Structure 1
Amino acid sequence: MKKNLQRFIASLLAITLLTTILSIQDVQAEENDHLNINAEAALLLEQSTGKIIYQKNIDTVLGIASMTKMMTEYLILEAVHEKKLSWDDQYNVTEYVHTISQDTSLSNVPLRRDGTYNARELYEAMAIYSANGATIALAEMVAGSEEAFVEKMNEKAEELGLKDYKFVNTTGLNNTDLYGMHPANTAADEENVMSARATAKLAYHLLKDFPELLDTSSIDKKVFREDTEDRIEMSNWNWMIPTLVKGYEGVDGIKTGYTDFAGYSFTGTVQKDGMRFISVVMNAKNESGNPDVEARFDETRKLFDYGYANFSVKEIYPANYQIDENSNLKVVKGKEKNVEVATSEPLKVLVKRGEEENFEPLYVFDEKLVNKKKEITAPIEKGAKVGYLTVEYTGEDTTGYLFEENKSGAKAEVVTTEAVEKANWFVLTMRGIGGFFSDLWSTIASSIKGLF
């Protein structure tokens, strides 16, 4: 009887322990993916701070399909800025581009073999309609060949500090779709790959360096070659543009992508309520777990809804803010012995709802100007930058920042509030003499005190 009771108690404890473990695992699973994003990888980023709000498998390398065209767009816009390409420059269609552009199983605007097209209309066809022939045409305009352009793509990715990427063509198609004319030094069945983190970084740089991108990516519909036999209506593949079927207020970019390898993917961006988000969803699935053209937008909507419902960019410290105990620096060799410092601009931080109190101000001084004793040497100009104000987040952060340099969070410049001239030789000499006698007197006083 006693043994049976012991077995019963042991069994009960085992069941209780197992239930507890499973409950903890369920809670952890919910915390790890509280939005239940049905995609192989996903990321949500607030642009101005570089703060990652949501992440899922963001360092897993996956197919990117036509999201590749973001890098192509970057290089095209860069060429325009550097005046290496003009929007009015004309292009004569090569056999390669003609062959690809006539494939109606791919996203395309048909280009005539004997036709001439300007860079702007080719760019619009690429950015709005994801036209693959037009994309290769632009690459040829900038680099002479797709092969040479692909080299530029990989070089630019390294320059931008991306990791986990490989570009083998300009379009995002599988090389098998390129009729054996894929770039040399790439395999016949290769496809472009990146991680969600690298994709978000590319989108971030694209928007930061060339914000005019949005003028085109936000166009819902446009006619290619209107009033000609080649007229074709282009509807943006980004269905989240407000006027389209999956419209979301404030969405104005950037790029969708699909291949059998990559699945349905989307890099989106939205601006409203004073905030811009960048999202990445890779290989999205519907609720049944199947690939679905609308799933990439449904999952992106979850990310945007979560971001706007739970976060805001707030000014937590105004311009001219001072941390009392650290805002008065000693001045070496100055007419004045001290100088005050303050912020030259407000400090704005991405704040999660209910966490406004989880920030503490912190000065970070330029070590070349301010030593460990909080001393600065005259002469000093008014408004001279001596460091920056940042914050220490005292809550729990499991996502971090997109860029290593942003890991300390938001920053506001700290400057001097007044000028301090260098003292002349007489004043410095008298201070030296005064300091000598002061030190001497202190030594004597201490010696005398020691006698008693």
Structure 2
Amino acid sequence: MKKLKRALIAFLIAILTVNVVALGVINTVSADTTTLSLNARAAYAIDAETGQVLYQKNANKTYPVASLTKVLTLAVIEQDVRNHHLSWNQKVKITPAVAKVANDWHFSNVPLNAGESYTIRQLTESMMIVSADGSAEALALADAGSTAAFNKKMQAVAKKAGVTDAKIYNMIGLANGDLGKNSLKNVKKTAENQFSAKDMALISKYLIETYPDSLKITKTKMANFRVSANQEYQMININSLLPENGFAPKNGTIDGLKTGNTDTAGKCIISTGMFAGRRVIVVALHTKGDWNDQSKDAQKFYEKLTEIYQPVQLTSLRQLSKNVQDAHVVHAKDKHSTGLELIKSTTIWLPKGTTLNQVGAKLKIDQSDRSMTHQLKAPVKKGQHVAYVTLKPTGMPSIQLPVKATDNIKKNGWF
């Protein structure tokens, strides 16, 4: 009888265990279908126009980024072509030091022959399509004369993009010592450029907004590079997310930007494309697994983005809850409140099935315009930027929108 009881108890425990495990699997699958994720050490995804953060993971911590650096290098070259410091048809003669890097099988390259000349356009295309390290070095030296001088230009453009915390050692993303004769003096040979995932997204946003034609290069799938009069090198874009490639997302179109890989940086990628009529930029640093794993993970991210989120037009604060449509004004002479309105219309990504008035909204008075009680203080001018509305969509990072006053409010003479 005791044996029978023990057997019955064991049977019931087994059933409960199976059910618990099954429920755990269901819960995991359910969570996975309602949230975005990237299998990377750090990641950052934004709407390229508004800057709305769609996903972030260790986004502000700086890491080596390998050849993602070349997005910034491209921005400098684009800038200097526009400013007539360089021209696309200008020829660059390759030095022995650059040829040594360009023909090193350890690096990503097209062959460059010492003494041979190549145009700025040729070198730029090879830098972005197949991540040619020697081409990046040749461009930087032609533009600024030295690695250190070009680094200063990179820092200046990064600052324009809103990046101030990056560590920049060269135009390629290799370790400093890998540049040989063109490496920085009195800097460790192992030093590598370091950016955060957010930094790389901001630089990519700046590049696309300021030099939109750069996407014509990054979306090129195949091109020939003339190495010499008797030799051509066929360049095949290594971005597997481009249209008709194996990992092209089914719900949008990728048209750039850049991959990268070193031992310390791991496999990194910046990608961008149009989804639900919006340009999205996604950065993933030190992704897990091999290149196929990276591409598959990015593909799933984009497909899930439009599966669970949708862009919604926000043209008026009346679309939000009433608590952000006006503000009480202290120290006022007559009128003690002002209406509020958006400084400009915008588009917000929201979870599907969510309306704008369902999103949690809070009003935060601008630091310079608030009283000790954190209320808006007189005087207030119509059209004056006075506050921010913070939105917190379910499962998404918060969004800050600047708002302005719709009324003139005079100050009470006692104050």
TM-score (norm 2): 0.75
Instruction: Report 1:16-35 matches (<5 A).
Output: none
Question: Which residue number in structure 2 is paired with residue 428 of structure 1?
Answer: none
Question: Which residue number in structure 1 is paired with residue 309 of structure 2?
Answer: 311
Question: Which residue number in structure 2 is paired with residue 250 of structure 1?
Answer: 253
Question: Which residue number in structure 1 is paired with residue 295 of structure 2?
Answer: 297
Deviation at residue 370 of structure 1 after TM alignment? 10
Segments of structure 1 that go 5 or more residues without pairing to the other structure are: 1-15, 401-406, 423-452
- With over 3 angstroms needed to count, the CA separation of the structure-2 counterparts of 1:339 and 1:40, relative to structure 1, is closer
TM-score (norm 1): 0.70
Instruction: Report 1:5-404 matches (<5 A).
Output: 37-154=38-155, 156-157=157-158, 160-163=162-165, 165-179=166-180, 181-225=182-226, 228-248=229-249, 249-285=252-288, 289=289, 291=290, 293-318=291-316, 345-356=344-355, 357-359=357-359, 384=383, 390=389, 392-393=391-392, 395=394, 397=396, 400=397
Query: Aligned AA for 2:260?
Result: G
Query: Aligned AA for 1:228?
Result: A
Give the whole-Å Cα distance in 2 for the aligned partners of 1:179 and 1:340: 63
8 Å CA contact 1:311, 1:353 repeated in 2: yes
8 Å CA contact 1:349, 1:410 repeated in 2: no
Offset from partner CA, 1:1-25 (integer Å, 9 cap, x none): xxxxxxxxxxxxxxx9xx99xx99x
CA RMSD of aligned residues (A): 4.7
- With over 3 angstroms needed to count, the CA separation of the structure-2 counterparts of 1:411 and 1:180, relative to structure 1, is same
Give the whole-Å Cα distance in 1 for the aligned partners of 2:327 and 2:266: 58
Identical-residue share of aligned pairs (%) = 25
Give the whole-Å Cα distance in 1 for the aligned partners of 2:368 and 2:219: 46
Give the whole-Å Cα distance in 1 for the aligned partners of 2:206 and 2:55: 19
Give the whole-Å Cα distance in 2 for the aligned partners of 1:180 and 1:373: 61
8 Å CA contact 1:329, 1:341 repeated in 2: no
Give the whole-Å Cα distance in 2 for the aligned partners of 1:106 and 1:65: 11
Instruction: Report 1:414-425 matches (<5 A).
Output: 414=404
- With over 3 angstroms needed to count, the CA separation of the structure-2 counterparts of 1:370 and 1:83, relative to structure 1, is farther
Q: SS where residue 272 of structure 2 aligns? A: strand
Q: SS where residue 270 of structure 1 aligns? A: strand
- How many positions carry a matched residue from both structures? 403
Give the whole-Å Cα distance in 1 for the aligned partners of 2:122 and 2:295: 27
Q: Rg larger in 1 or in 2? A: 1
8 Å CA contact 2:351, 2:393 repeated in 1: no
Give the whole-Å Cα distance in 1 for the aligned partners of 2:359 and 2:106: 54
- With over 3 angstroms needed to count, the CA separation of the structure-2 counterparts of 1:30 and 1:70, relative to structure 1, is farther
Segments of structure 2 that go 5 or more residues without pairing to the other structure are: 1-15, 411-415
Q: SS where residue 257 of structure 1 aligns? A: strand
- With over 3 angstroms needed to count, the CA separation of the structure-2 counterparts of 1:29 and 1:191, relative to structure 1, is farther
